[in-house]
Structure 1
């Protein structure tokens, strides 16, 4: 199968991807404020997987469009550098969020007089061994709680060229290789080191890459055929039954039933670090159900103007802002019990700010295009154009006060 030879899809951007990414961002924000009333209504209360699995799957799906077509079209180096550049941006955002997490916790300890705030979210190591922990922060070895998903996502982007190389041969080979890495990581407990503490990353990239790879696989399938997995009544029924089993397990705490099965923990457990099979199957089942929503359903035709799609289009700045807001909210709710009015105000204020940011970024993108279009259509001043280059001041010719060289010419050099 030669995906690179396929024509570019004519259906345009699938706003459903942005919509569900926006939904995941809202749920992540709510879940990052422990003890609030509304965390009881996020997806993790209705099945084995949560918003993080959905977000990583959608990231893989989008990567097929953002990097995959470029890579398989012969521009392998450009696609690789583009993915790694994005990983570098994630590293910088991770460093910023870590600094905010430390600063907000210290501020909360000063304001509330609660030194216990400096022992939460993994800050105890920073207090006892600050030099070693700072090395851990800089190398992504030590990650604070609620600020630990971006390193895994950056690792996905570093692994992406290898996945795309296999996909260039055959998509099934890519998926098989990803499954093999997932199995090896789960069986032999392979993970990135968590320096200076023992153990590894909470979001193990060698395990989570399988969710990313499934998203990448579905993205390529949609590019090729217009759909990821064909609708089949028996498959929809199977996905629905499994989703219901997951719901009943969570709702009635039936975890022991799964533990009684004579299989390894990787196949019957619910470990998030190594993405146990029940979690993986659950996110795939949920995605299949919602991806095949009835044509008359509002979920089947998401428009660009949808507020959650707007959030999803700007996932990184919205996620970073939501993380900072959730850290402040953790200080405000320090050891407080769920309270309807207080929790409603905090959640509503945080989500409103994230929507406001996304709306601003949408406006800013349009405003830039309008400004560039107006500049391109501006008539040339004939008196200025008639001045010979040698009669202009040397500084102007050298570009000290602002170059007049076209960006296209710069790129062509």
Structure 2
């Protein structure tokens, strides 16, 4: 399947934002997506993942049949589950190593470092059963569940799209009581990323990928209207974010806006966050399609695309670098005098992220010789 460079770039951008957002005292986290929109990189990552699922499913089913597509995504769900387990082990071991080196960090809960040493089998088992989802990796637990539903949901969606949409909306409406039924290690009910809420965004992305050739010609007839509406939604979201950032002086504005939007909850994916990311997808895909294609052809765009193409590997690297960056930040004394040190740490992490992803994407060049040298065939 021919890759879309702008799509890979946006996936890479989402992963970089996730890395920076998970560094509590980092500097560049103040200029990531969440500072300018009512949604953040998590929504972008899930929407793009759904879009890719829709595109791939249609291609595989057309060439190899539905059974091949179903098997492919069952295997993909297993791969994501294994990545969750491997990532949880690496996260806990890396956290333990940093504590051993007296490098404090708060990006992940300190108990993981203790459990992997004191109760390794229990730690791995609880992660594998998804009774526990270590923070920073909890979106992978969500992704396992979403991908696992694809072999059943996609045939229904492709044959009866309006029925699929209706079921998804109904599940989203009852997301919180449904999530409360999932046994979990958390003190709160269910999974942190509510799968019954986030499935609406994921399958919206799937529909965009699977049906884009059908509905885009229809939507383009109303392109001007949709662009103005989408821009209005994004500007409204920006006002909400600015009111949050201003704090107490803007409290009357925040209270007024809350009467319009209701509660804005990331973890169950409220309507405002959902409609905002959908509006942003239209702006990027239609009026800004050429600028984004141009950006994807630049050196920074190509670097982000390499990160995006790294898939699960890039996500796990993102988590490890978040922890390391947090630990490095905590070695720098607070205060404006150390602004450049903090900026250097953030920039170094972004460059390191790209370098690791670039090496991984070129593994066909160096892995076979390495295996031969080690006698592994």
1:290-301 equivalences in 2 (<5 Å): 290-294=284-288, 297-299=291-293
C-alpha distance in structure 1 between counterparts of 2:229 and 2:58, whole Å: 30
The reply to whether residue 204 of structure 1 matches residue 160 of structure 2 is: no
C-alpha distance in structure 1 between counterparts of 2:91 and 2:288, whole Å: 43
Candidates 246, 250, 259, aligned match of 2:241? 250
More helix by share: 2
The reply to whether residue 288 of structure 1 matches residue 282 of structure 2 is: yes
Verify the 8 A CA contact 2:329 2:345 in the aligned structure 1.
no
Pairwise CA distance, 1:92:
1.6
1:294-350 CA distances to partner (integer Å, 9 max, x unpaired)? 565354674497222222222322221121111122222338647422222222222
1:277 is matched with 271
Verify the 8 A CA contact 1:121 1:146 in the aligned structure 2.
no
Verify the 8 A CA contact 2:176 2:268 in the aligned structure 1.
yes
1:395 is matched with none
Aligned in 2, Cα 1:113/1:26: closer, same or farther, shift over 3 Å?
closer
Candidates 326, 329, 334, aligned match of 2:330? 334
C-alpha distance in structure 2 between counterparts of 1:150 and 1:160, whole Å: 15
- Structure 1 range deviating more: 104-113 or 92-101: 104-113
1:62-141 equivalences in 2 (<5 Å): 62-71=52-61, 75-112=65-102, 120=109, 123=112, 126=115, 134-141=124-131
Aligned residue pairs, count = 354
Verify the 8 A CA contact 1:122 1:143 in the aligned structure 2.
no
Pairwise CA distance, 1:188:
5.1
Verify the 8 A CA contact 1:258 1:269 in the aligned structure 2.
no
Aligned in 2, Cα 1:368/1:76: closer, same or farther, shift over 3 Å?
farther
1:221-256 CA distances to partner (integer Å, 9 max, x unpaired)? 224466694252111111111111111111122442
Q: Which runs of 5+ in 1 are unaligned?
A: 1-8, 262-266, 370-401, 403-413
Aligned in 2, Cα 1:72/1:168: closer, same or farther, shift over 3 Å?
farther
Verify the 8 A CA contact 1:136 1:196 in the aligned structure 2.
no
Verify the 8 A CA contact 2:176 2:194 in the aligned structure 1.
no
- Structure 1 range deviating more: 129-138 or 43-52: 129-138
Aligned in 2, Cα 1:37/1:82: closer, same or farther, shift over 3 Å?
same
**1:297 partner SS:** helix
Pairwise CA distance, 1:47:
1.6
Measured on the aligned residues, the alpha-carbon RMSD in Å equals 3.3
The reply to whether residue 321 of structure 1 matches residue 278 of structure 2 is: no
2:352 is matched with 353
Pairwise CA distance, 1:258:
3.7
Q: Which has the higher contact order (CA 8 A, sep 6+)?
A: 2
C-alpha distance in structure 2 between counterparts of 1:335 and 1:255, whole Å: 36
Verify the 8 A CA contact 2:95 2:113 in the aligned structure 1.
no
Verify the 8 A CA contact 1:133 1:195 in the aligned structure 2.
no
1:376-404 CA distances to partner (integer Å, 9 max, x unpaired)? xxxxxxxxxxxxxxxxxxxxxxxxxx9xx
How does the TM-score come out when normalised to structure 2? Answer: 0.82
Please tell me whether Structure 1 or Structure 2 has the larger radius of gyration of its CA atoms: 1
**1:348 partner SS:** helix
C-alpha distance in structure 1 between counterparts of 2:310 and 2:232, whole Å: 34
1:161-180 CA distances to partner (integer Å, 9 max, x unpaired)? 22212123122222222112
Candidates 140, 143, 166, aligned match of 2:133? 143
Aligned in 2, Cα 1:117/1:24: closer, same or farther, shift over 3 Å?
closer
Aligned in 2, Cα 1:40/1:180: closer, same or farther, shift over 3 Å?
same
- Structure 1 range deviating more: 297-306 or 77-86: 297-306
Pairwise CA distance, 1:40:
0.7
How does the TM-score come out when normalised to structure 1? Answer: 0.76
Pairwise CA distance, 1:209:
1.0
C-alpha distance in structure 2 between counterparts of 1:223 and 1:106, whole Å: 49
Pairwise CA distance, 1:260:
3.0
Q: Which runs of 5+ in 2 are unaligned?
A: 245-252, 369-376
Verify the 8 A CA contact 1:31 1:39 in the aligned structure 2.
yes
